[in-house]
Amino acid sequence: MNVNTPSTNKPIAVAMSGGVDSSTVAAMLRRDGHTIVGMTMQLWNQRRLPELSGEGATGRCCSLDDVYDARYVAETLGIPYYVVNFEKRFEEQVIKPFIGEYLEGRTPIPCTLCNNFVKFDPFHELAEGLGADIVATGHYARIRRDEDSGRYLLMRAVDSSKDQTYFLWGLTQSQLAHTVFPLGEYTKPQVREIARSLGIPVAEKQDSQEICFVPNGDYASFIDAYFQEQGIPREATHGSVVDTEGRKLAEHCGVHHFTIGQRKGLGFAAGEPLYVIATKPAEQLVIVGRNPDLLRAELTARQANWIAVDHLAAPMRVAVKIRNKHEAAAATVYPMEDTSRFRVRFDEPQRAVTPGQAAVLFDGDEVVGGGWIE
Amino acid sequence: MSTRYYFDHNATTLVGDAVLEAYTAALRDVPGNASSIHHHGQLAKQKLEQGRRQVAALLHVSPKEIVFSSGGTESNNLALFGVAKAGCHVITTGIEHPAVLNPCARLEQCGVEVTRVAPQPDGIVAPDAIRAALRANTTLVSVMHANNETGVVQPVEEIARIAHEAGALLHVDGVQAVGKLAVDIPALGADLYSLSGHKLAAPKGVGALYVRQGLQLTPLLYGGHHERDRRAGTENVPAVVALGAAAQWWNENGAEERARLAALRDRLENAILSVNQDIHLNGNRHARVPNTSNIRFYGISGESMVIALDLKGFAVSSGSACSSGAVEPSHVLVAMGLNNEQARSSIRFSLGRTNTADEVDALVRATVESYWHLRRLSPAFDHER
């Protein structure tokens, strides 16, 4: 059963960012005769770190321009619209863990934290308070109900270049049961065409960036600015870049400036290409090595969430994505004694397995489950 | 949505019938510039001065002491920047409107020392706390008359005596008091007093500052010799005419209207507070304007309640809106000692001229219904699920 198009007479709460995707969702549901309420989640106050918000800063979330756009779209559609304040929750559930992960030498995915702990649970709660059982968002993914198992399945979007399942693996059965992703069946060009045909004022608006609260994608500067706001001295994060033998090659201003597989910006010139292969935040060390040092055949993951299955009972053949732009690689996933963890063995070793990113397990287009790489 | 009910009169009021008539008539029939010497100018000047007399009469002051402005914010800015100078000390309170708090923050950047006195838990600023904050260089005390969120009325007369004994001036932000209280400025003892048109059934974009005769004030705006050199800019005669008409309406009907509002407010409050022990009143119950009720619903998000009620057609408010329109917890309630969660679970009901007992009863039904629905979903009541 396809549940991407809702069958409900109750109002549907649409999470509206002011962008073309969520605006089109609102317009499509309105066109189909649903009663809808538009909401924009105010997540982050751009004025807090003003040094990051210079001219030309792009990819800003919750900017007044986006709220203006969302409000204008709602007005065009003739639907009730509200901005709701999730700033405190976003800081606690997304910003602080995001920074904490970097400081522990991992490379986090704030979008997944946001989906798991802000966009779905609290937003559902808010929507339910207003009498709306169903939440609609502009994510590119599909939800199906499997009649045999009774489970809600998360499937890749029809448009594989826009597919966002990598960020949605944490959704629970109850969240999936009360969510619709109307765009999952369409390609981005089709969505823009629908937006134009429905007269949406933001039909031609540029797509937003991935990490919405970090201007220009410069997360290291964001973390530096956040430290400054919190009164943490920058020197506290300074340390050394060393090779695999422990020889010091350069100094650096914080492990959060580095991610596994990174080649540029290491602070020194080497005869052969060197890459970050690990960070040791406790000693403020960044370890560099050659390309083969980056290959891993195995990983373990924690905080597993299972979607297609209730739990992992036996080893299973899957395709595993270890970052958003990664081509899913053939692997076998093994259960572990601690059922909140799992182990993946790739058929071929994979480059730059990065702690803090997610390992998302696919069976064809279906998301089997996922977890955080350890 | 068929019917809309408006219970947010502290945010703004609907323009009164007589006011609307006077306003549109002035827009149509009084086209002149009040500074011109010809007939058109003279007619405009007459209307301007008639409005000034009507406002002065409502406040028991001399028309010469009224300076028209663009509204409450400008009046507050004119008072504060007009009196406070670098090197001096200003006392204000933690429950003021941003139109006082933010000018004070700016004054600090300009070399003025500012002390913000905290209120008591009941929302009243103790006169002794003002006295304790006085310094040798204190030149100005700025205290609001009635609070916009709780409706609590401040002991202005006593604070005026304390300020004057110390040689300081008293500015009172009366934006939420005029109309809701019978305001007698000489009896209060204020040297400066701000009001806003749209809070008393006049249009937005007009307000006034009372400036005690003889008080020297540095202007904010420089230009022509309007408003006795205290506020440059061609006078907005139709808006002043409307403000005058509103002042006259309150002068003639205020006592009766205040009694009516108090009865409606009590009807609303008694019904909601009797639901259960998790619902409380914020602020002093007695020292209050008659139209405002600020109620705390333990465990409930005020933001959700406001949206739920709006979807049912009832306009109420919670906290203050930030620039995006999202709700932030009320700094007033936090200053009174409530924690963020308590502040976020509070709703302000503010009644006005258009509300009836039937409307209040409908509001009570909708509020109680939303309350029980939200309570069922609230994590604070998990044990009841």
Q: Where are the domains of chain B?
A: 5-12+254-384, 17-249
pTM here? 0.87
Contact between B72 and B194 under an 8 Å Cβ cutoff? The reply is yes
Domain extent for A275: 235-289
Say whether domain B5-12+254-384 belongs to CATH 3.90.1150.10.
yes
- The yes-or-no verdict on residue A1 having pLDDT over 50 is no
CATH of B17-249, one of 3.40.50.1980, 3.40.640.10, 3.40.50.10240, 3.50.50.60: 3.40.640.10
pLDDT for residue A45:
76
The nearest alpha carbon in chain A to B323 belongs to: A64
Instruction: Assess whether A317 and A363 both reside in one domain.
Output: yes
**Average per-residue pLDDT for chain A:** 88
Q: Where are the beta strands (DSSP E) in A94-163?
A: 134-136, 142-145, 152-155
The angle at the Cα of B146, spanning B141 to B148, to the nearest 5 degrees, equals: 110
Domain end among A217, A249, A264: A217
Bridge partners, residue A243, by sequence? A288
Q: Is residue A90 part of a domain?
A: yes
Lowest mean pLDDT among A217-221, A363-367, B54-58, B238-242: A217-221
Closest CA to A1 of A158, A148, A173, A183: A148
pLDDT for residue A59:
45
Residue B323 has its nearest CB partner, among A64, A125, A131, at A64
Contact A84 B310 (CB under 8 A): no
| Helices B72-83 and B98-109: angle between axes, nearest 10 degrees | 30
- The yes-or-no verdict on residue A36 having pLDDT over 60 is yes
pLDDT tens-digit readout, B202-241? 999 999 999 999 999 999 999 999 999 999 999 999 999 9
Contact between A180 and A136 under an 8 Å Cβ cutoff? The reply is yes
Q: Annotated catalytic, A62?
A: no
Bridge partners, residue B294, by sequence? B348
Residue B304 has its nearest CB partner, among A42, A45, A130, at A130
- The yes-or-no verdict on residue B130 having pLDDT over 50 is yes
Instruction: For chain B, give percent helix, strand, coil, nearest 5.
Output: 45, 15, 40
Pairwise CA distance, residues A63 & A18, whole Å: 10
Among the options A61, A62, A111, A114, which is catalytic?
A: A114
Which residues of chain B are within 8 Å of residue A40 when distances are taken between CB atoms?
A: 324
Amino acid A142 reads: R
Over residues B118-133, mean pLDDT: 98
**Confidence grade of residue A269 (pLDDT, cut at 50, 70, 90):** confident
Residues 205-264 of A with CB under 8 A from B: none
**Confidence grade of residue A283 (pLDDT, cut at 50, 70, 90):** confident
Sheet holding A285-289, edge to edge: A248-252, A239-243, A285-289, A275-280
pLDDT tens-digit readout, B135-188? 999 999 999 999 999 999 999 999 999 999 999 999 999 999 999 999 999 999
Pairwise CA distance, residues A344 & A335, whole Å: 9
Which residues of chain B are within 8 Å of residue A128 when distances are taken between CB atoms?
A: 377
Neighbour count for residue B41 (Cβ, 10 Å)? 14
Contact between B279 and B296 under an 8 Å Cβ cutoff? The reply is yes
Contact between A180 and A11 under an 8 Å Cβ cutoff? The reply is no
Over residues A264-275, mean pLDDT: 80
Q: How close is the nearest chain A Cα to the Cα of B379, in Å?
A: 10
pLDDT tens-digit readout, B8-53? 999 999 999 999 999 999 999 999 999 999 999 999 999 999 999 9
- The yes-or-no verdict on residue A47 having pLDDT over 90 is no
Kindly indicate whether the ipTM for this predicted assembly is greater than 0.90, answering yes or no: no
pLDDT tens-digit readout, B231-288? 999 999 999 999 999 999 999 999 999 999 999 999 999 999 999 999 999 999 999 9
Domain end among A225, A256, A289: A289
Closest CA to B227 of B64, B31, B27: B64
Number of domain units in chain A = 3
pLDDT tens-digit readout, A156-209? 999 999 999 999 999 999 999 999 999 999 999 999 999 999 999 988 888 876
The whole-angstrom distance between residue B123's C-alpha and the CA centroid of its chain comes to: 15
Calculate the CA dihedral of residues B173, B178, B180, B183 and round it to 10 degrees.
100
